[in-house]
Chain A
Amino acid sequence: MTSIVCKKLSKRYGKESLALDKVDLSLNMRGIFSLIGRNGAGKTTLFRVLSTTLLPTSGSATIDGVDVVKTAKEIRERIAVVPQEARPVAWMTPKETVTSYLMWRGFNYGEARRRADEALKLLGISKFSNKLNQRLSGGTKRKVLVATVIASDADIIFLDEPTTGLDPISRGELWDLLLKLKKTRFIFLTTHYLEEAEFLADKIGILENGKLLSVGTLQELRKKMGYPYSVKILGKTGKANVKRGRVVKGRDGYTQIFTTEEEARRLGGHLIKTKTRFSSNPVSLEDIFYYFVKKSVNEEERNDGPEYR
């Protein structure tokens, strides 16, 4: 189990930009924790503070009880970090990239090369081991960076948007690998791909404007949202006669109703009788994300309709 605790953690860049706003977080878990949020929400800032590469302005953060600022050295023994937009050095090969990173972690040359071979094989890129990084595709370059942390002895891995720019197949391969990896390591993953967080994460945090809006498993987030079901109707809601739930104008011409399971059933029956096209599902992470983020932004910008109770 890995515990991450943040208490009123804030980070201000300059005088005006507040990237983290008194973030309180308490995790005690295995597997993958995924932080989701829009661009500029503060994901990378929180990632960097926890991975000891950026100092917070105020508040505190600990990993397994160890302060990430005061005792960063101790934390760095246990973590491995792949920052956003990191790229392997052009004039090196994948094997040299992994080997040198492991040597920075204190492995001797022979052991580092042995581990590099294993990690590259595990990622299915051993055929590129001795090719210059500059000649690799974007997906393979990302895999090389992931190989560095896999090959390390770190039990906590920080990955900042590791699949950005990858094609769907490469992304799927990386997901499979992360699912294997999470059995033995704790992974702190930021992403703005909601399906990625939904597929991989054991717990999810939603960050918006530097504020942590909600944290939990997908089930817990559904509960926190209050409406675990979504009914989508083509057209206006009037036909649905909603008794309980929140009605939201969909982006695709649909009207979406977040509601309880019971009300979703009732609505379903009603819509069948009126021969209205609809679908009914448990709410997805995308629904949850929009629900929480829209709640946090200015009321005037909201796109949703009335709430029925």
Chain B
Amino acid sequence: MGRNIGSQVFASVLVNALYAMKNMPIMLVNTLLTPFSFLIVITFISRGALLGVAIEGALIMTMVLNGLGLQGDLSHLKNDMKLQEMVVGSPTSASVYLIGMAMSEIIYALPALILLIILSALFLHLTLLGILAIAGAMLLMFIVAVALGFFFSTLTADVIQSFAFSGMLSMLLSALPPVYYLITYIPLPYRYLAYLSPTTFAAQIAQNAAGFVSLSTSSLITDWIVLAAVAIVFLFIAIKKSRWVEI
């Protein structure tokens, strides 16, 4: 029979997002907590001065955390449920599974994203170009996080091992970079460490788009090139080097 690729993608969305949201809505609370908790803390500490930066940070972090969440979700489905093995032994390919699961994470993040977009409309004064820049940076960071999450999930043999990977990835993509505040807040010798994380480049693009920092054209171009290159490299690694079939 002719296989419907749309159905194969939608199956992942159903399993990892829609059915979970429908049958266990409490799981949605988790997607809201982390980005909003940082947003609230940073806003209070800065007495409201960093509210705009924190909203942008929360937008980027929602994409990063949900992208990284894919690693935990896939590890659970693979190692605890053996679901991935059932899918491997079916007509669905690794890339179709990855696309479906990535879409499921975006759908799962929608409640948080909608709230943050409302806050952005209220507290940020963005031009159309600025909105596009922020959306582009969010998308690229999501690709980076999803690709890394997928790659590591295929390597893990159990969920505990996957916690170790997710801890390292969270450190690299969310704790290290200045997402909820400006990079200038980090003392100079340590500032360069932040550039180890692609999230720093995404945050700079977003902060520039909202006018919180003013980057030179060359810096802005560099940020876009680095972010795009990292996304392409990690996506390539995820597609080519992930262990879909075990060795």
Contacts and interface: CB of A to CB of B under 8 A. Distances in A.
Contacts, number: 118
Interface of A: 48, 51-55, 72-73, 76-77, 79-89, 91-93, 96, 99-101, 103-109, 112, 132, 148, 153, 158
B48 to A, nearest CB: 39
Interface of B: 1-5, 7-8, 10-12, 14-15, 19-20, 23-24, 27, 77, 80-83, 85-93, 97, 245-247
Nearest to A101: B86
B86 A91 contact: no
B8 A103 contact: yes
Most A CB within 10 A of own CB, among B7, B8, B20, B89? B89
A92 B246 contact: no
Nearest to B80: A87
Main secondary structure of the interface of B (DSSP, over half): helix
B89 A158 contact: yes
B239 to A, nearest CB: 15
Contacts of A106: 1-5, 7-8, 91-92
Contact of A89 (B4, B10, B15, B89): B15
A104 B87 contact: yes
B246 A55 contact: yes
Contacts of B10: 103, 109
13 contacts: A53-B246, A54-B245, A86-B82, A86-B85, A99-B14, A101-B86, A103-B4, A103-B14, A105-B3, A107-B7, A112-B7, A148-B86, A153-B1
A92 B23 contact: yes
A108 B4 contact: yes
A83 B245 contact: no
Which of A81, A103, A108, A153 has the most B CB atoms < 10 Å from its CB? A103
B89 A105 contact: no
Contacts of A112: 7
